[in-house]
Structure 1
Amino acid sequence: MKKIEIITRTEKLNDVKKVLAKNEYIGMTVTAVMGCGHQKGVIPEFKGMDFEINLLPKVQIMTVVLDEDVEEILRDIKETLSTGTVGDGKVFISDISDVMRIRTGERGESIL
């Protein structure tokens, strides 16, 4: 199993949900986050004063998927979310050794 963490523009949340649903994954955790990368945030002007804010609003979506589905999901995310501009986001993939459903104590891939 793999944990996929997607950090992207807030307006792309529904697109991510569609990609996951297309691949038969509906379980996810969504968090509103702030961050910056190559985009380096924004520098708005307040009443003639420059005020630097180097964090931008983003959304972080976390889900766990089967190993065999990772590449297709990553391809779909790239095709769906990429605008070709700085700020599209990142996807982090990590290994998950086990999972347990708290309600029943069931464990393993079958509970995904």
Structure 2
Amino acid sequence: MKQIVAIVKPYLAERVLEGLRRAPLEALWVHEVKGMGKQKSYLDQYAGDDGAMAFLPKVELSMMVEDARAEEVLERLVEIARTGRMGDGKIFVMPAQPYERVVSI
């Protein structure tokens, strides 16, 4: 099992979710997050001001995917989310341990 975490611009989130509608996902979580990083030296203007932090709004999509289907989901995710402009986002892939349900059905 793999956990795929994609951090995208808010306006791309709906398009990504729509594109992943039929993807072979075991689970999916969506979070509104804020973050900062190097984006066209946008943060350089705040370097001298300790009180100012330029946190940009993003959307985090966390997905659980079977190992055999992870590459397929990643390819689809990149195809949908990539616009070619700086700040499109990041994708992280991590191994996930097997889990048990908290409540039996």
TM over 0.5: yes
Give the AA of the match of 1:83: T
Partner residue, 2:56: 56
Residue of structure 2 in register with 1:31 after alignment: 31
Task: Return 81-90 or 26-35, whichever deviates more.
Answer: 26-35
Give the conservation status (yes or no) of the 8 Å contact 2:26–2:66. no
Could you list the runs of 5+ residues in structure 1 that have no partner in the other structure?
Answer: 44-51, 106-112
Deviations 1:12-46 (A, max 9, x none): 22222223322133731111111122315579xxx
Residue 90 of structure 1: aligned partner: 90
Within 5 Å, which residues of 2 pair with 1:2-17?
A: 2-17=2-17
User: 1:72: which partner in 2?
Assistant: 72
- The answer to whether the Cα contact below 8 Å between 2:24 and 2:65 also exists between their aligned partners in 1 is no
Cα shift at 1:77: 1.1
After superposition, give the CA deviation of every residue in 1:71-106 in whole Å (9 maximum; x if it has no partner).
11111111111110111000111001212211118x
- Structure 2, unpaired ranges of 5+: 45-51
Structure 2-normalised TM-score? 0.79
Larger displacement relative to structure 2 (86-95 or 15-24): 15-24
| TM-align CA RMSD | 2.5
Contact 1:5–1:91 at 8 Å: present in 2 too?
yes
Aligned residues, how many?
99
State the 4+ residue runs in structure 1 displaced beyond 3 angstroms.
Answer: 40-43
Contact 1:36–1:54 under 8 Å retained in 2: yes
Q: TM-score, normalised by structure 1?
A: 0.75
* Equivalent in the alignment of 1:49: none
Q: Which has the higher contact order (CA 8 A, sep 6+)?
A: 2
Larger Rg: 1
